[in-house]
Structure 1
Amino acid sequence: MKIIIAPDAFKGSLTAEEAAEAIRTGVKKVLPQAETVCLPVADGGEGTLSALITATEGVYKTVPVRDPLGRLIEAQLGILGDGETAVVELAQASGLMLLEPDELNPMKASTFGTGELIRNALDAGYRKLIIGLGGSATNDGGAGLLEALGVRFFDVQGELLQMDGSALSRIDKVDVSQLDQRLATTDIRIASDVENPFVGENGASYIFGPQKGADAKAVTLLDEGLRHFADKTAELTGMCLHDLKGAGAAGGSAGALLAYCGARLESGIEVVLGAIEFAKHIQSADFIVTGEGKTDRQTLDGKALLGVAKSAKAFGVPVFVISGAIEESACGELSEWFSGLHALDDGSKTLGELMANASGLLCQETVHLMSKIKNSELLL
């Protein structure tokens, strides 16, 4: 029997890799002879880097970059097992996790460090890049990362601007003459599950600005700045980012990569599944076990578990879910994709207890599921 173990992260308690190991332990307690293949997944957000490196047996490279506030830190760049593809996770250099709560301020935060990660990948000779855009602390429209890649921004007085969220509205001229020429021959794939446009009430600033520390006034100013940058970008490149679906990911960083770096925007989970050759692994599988912190209707909007289910359906492979919680009202819709839905939350424990004991509970619920399978109650 061959079992694919492909969970996403249980946010706040387990990484995708830790969840996969807990499930594997549970499988082996009941089916010790089973072949288990751990393929932790992600949908382009935080955890994408580690999921890709784990599944492809890749390696990490530590490089010095600037954090969102310009401080020198060390971040990780990933090299896939193919030896040809570099993975840049924006959160490594420009993420919320790098700042203390009282430091959050998208007016001052920059994606410059993410541009440094990209430049490091280019310097190392990589011409295939996967860029994951989740977990940003920034709302600079990606201008900071463009600055690190050679783009220069000037105000109306001809003074060189240092880019952050507050500088966007002061852009008078965008000079791309020194943009890194290696980008023209580099295949850049943006892995993201965000569909928000660059600007407007559903755009980067209004939807994600508050969680990055922006108050109502700052949100308005940030949106105006992004709109101004989008206007300048349209004049220069011909690409209209304003209402472009997905351009608002990571405070507009997706838009910058699309317009200036020749990147293409793809479903995060599809990029991940392709990179780890998921289809090849599951063709001979008997079933798949996946899971996440909470499985609900949002899972059906292009999240990681739906990507797993779609791939499995093409080969007729059943998929069982073990998640922290399952939205009861969504079970009918979810059951169209998954052969079984199992939750760690049985109502007897607090959220704190569930998160603190997530690994053990996940292993325990896996044992319960495997026992049913062994006794032929499932997969009939």
Structure 2
Amino acid sequence: MAVTLTLPAAGGGLTPLTLAAGPAPTPAAGGWNRVAYAAAHVVADPLTDNDPWLDAAIDWERTLAYRDYLWSLGLGVAEAMDTAQRGMGLDWDSSLALIRHSVAQARAGGHLIACGAGTDHLASGPAVSIDDVIAAYEMQCEAVEATGGRVILMASRALAVAARGPEDYARVYARVLGGLSQPAILHWLGEMFDPALAGYWGAADHGAAMETCLAILADNADKVEGIKISLLSAEKEIAMRRRLPEGIKMYTGDDFNYPALIEGDEEGYSHALLGIFDPIAGAAARALSALGENDRGGYHDAFDPTVPLSRHIFKAPTRFYKTGVVFMAYLNGHQDHFTMVGGQESTRSTLHLAELIRLANDAGLFTDPEAAAARARPVFAARGVEV
């Protein structure tokens, strides 16, 4: 049954949009030839008596159910990453509880999972030393590995402040990686995702920073399974991918250019660890199944329509992309409210949410248009618009 919304438009007024049903998400078909993680979001509990800006209240049932949904499609879960609002509402204690729950669930089902370890319990500041950063990293890594999880070594705001140059990064990463029981995935998160990480690896210029990062990878290759870079630059990712030490995977974190980067070229390809795979999980599974069967047409048919939506969700200020991710989960019935940890549902405008619906509809991401429209209406009504 066709259903129409009258959504606010950038030029003023309302414009009609008829929602169309897209294909239902289905489990992976055949074997995939790429490793693919979805960085998963957390579902807030809106009925907890807490201060949302100060402490997280997680709806554990819905949060873990969403991970089951991702696993059911063949995707791995990258847990407690920035998509889960790490450092933007989710503190380390809540992150560790999330990791424990998710790893236990993954191990029981034989699913793929890797978990973020960082230094976010350590406040950045001039009094923080490199030794403090190392100790903070080691504490979180030990906690993650104690659950049985593989570490994703997240970029550290405290290290970005404490480091005096590339040699400090080399020292920290050598020490932390050397203490792990299994190889880690490193994460280079660009300043467009987190302004506090500007100048990471000891240089403001990404080219110079890349040289330091590559040297660290080479020096610690036996302790590194892969690296995820999130710079929103296909050119930089490809340049780095071609220089990685043998055996180290490139995981794309580029939510603007992922179809071409995952498909690759004559010199290689990227695996995936992406926040956008959370809201487009069904399309991602179809695309990766097609790629595994060397069906390039089917791959692009599934992936390419999602790119405008992803670019919209991740538009500047990119760090607010989580709002679009959670709005999509709400519209598709994975949670019964649009309330976020830290009150982050307020970080995007009403026009932004309207355009998100248009682009998601173009990408065929609403499997039940009538239900999606019914969920959209109260959100817009609360913002003063009857759609």
Q: Taking structure 1 as the reference length, what is the TM-score of the superposition? A: 0.36
Q: Taking structure 2 as the reference length, what is the TM-score of the superposition? A: 0.35
Larger Cα-atom Rg: 1
Structure with the higher strand share, 1 or 2: 1
